[in-house]
């Protein structure tokens, strides 16, 4: 008897939690536009590079940025927490600590993971780090 009651209650909760709005599901694929490179120009060693990547949802479903992974520990990135609606834009902000890089030309990568047709995209931050 307890087993039947448990199954009935479980089914009821499952049925109540389902919605008919599939547009909000991160499983729907969309498209996005983002610049592939941010060029910071010349910076003095010890300065932070702040790179901003504007992301525009060019598809028909909300854009979910699930992760932004930096290629090294000198780079930290912050992603939009909320979905980006079709036609709207968001921003990824990354900071590079040049104290942790070499001098000369540097190139740091960020891998953006999202619910787009191509689920992983790499963007780059470039700069020339000068001695202080």
Q: Looking at the predicted structure, is the pLDDT value of residue 16 above 60?
A: no
Q: Report the pLDDT value the prediction gives residue 51, as an integer from 0 to 100.
A: 98
pLDDT tens digit sequence for 93-105: 999 999 999 999 9
| Residue 24 φ then ψ, to 5° | -95, 0
Domain locations in the chain as residue ranges: 24-130
Task: Give me 121's structure tokens.
Answer: 């995209």
pLDDT tens digit sequence for 30-77: 999 999 999 999 999 999 999 999 999 999 999 999 999 999 999 999
Q: Report the pLDDT value the prediction gives residue 52, as an integer from 0 to 100.
A: 98
> 24-130 is classed in which CATH architecture?
Sandwich (2.60)
**Residue 52 CA from chain centroid, whole number:** 12
β-sheet with 37-44: strand ranges across? 37-44, 120-130, 104-114, 65-70
Give the Å distances, CA to CA, from 68 to 13, 16, 88.
34, 34, 19
The rounded percent of the chain whose pLDDT value lies above 90 is: 79
């Amino acid at each position: 008897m307890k087993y039947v009651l448990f199954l009935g209650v479980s089914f009821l909760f499952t049925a109540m939690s389902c919605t008919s709005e599939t547009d909000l599901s991160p499983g729907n694929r969309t498209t996005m536009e983002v610049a592939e490179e941010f060029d910071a120009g010349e910076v003095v060693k010890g300065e932070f590079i702040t790179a901003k990547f504007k992301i525009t949802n060019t598809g028909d479903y909300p854009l979910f940025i699930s992760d932004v992974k930096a290629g090294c520990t000198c780079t930290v990135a912050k992603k939009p927490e909320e979905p980006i609606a079709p036609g709207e834009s968001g921003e990824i902000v990354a900071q590079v600590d040049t104290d942790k890089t070499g001098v000369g030309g540097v190139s740091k990568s960020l891998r953006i993971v999202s619910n787009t047709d191509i689920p992983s995209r790499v963007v780059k931050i470039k700069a020339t780090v000068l001695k202080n």
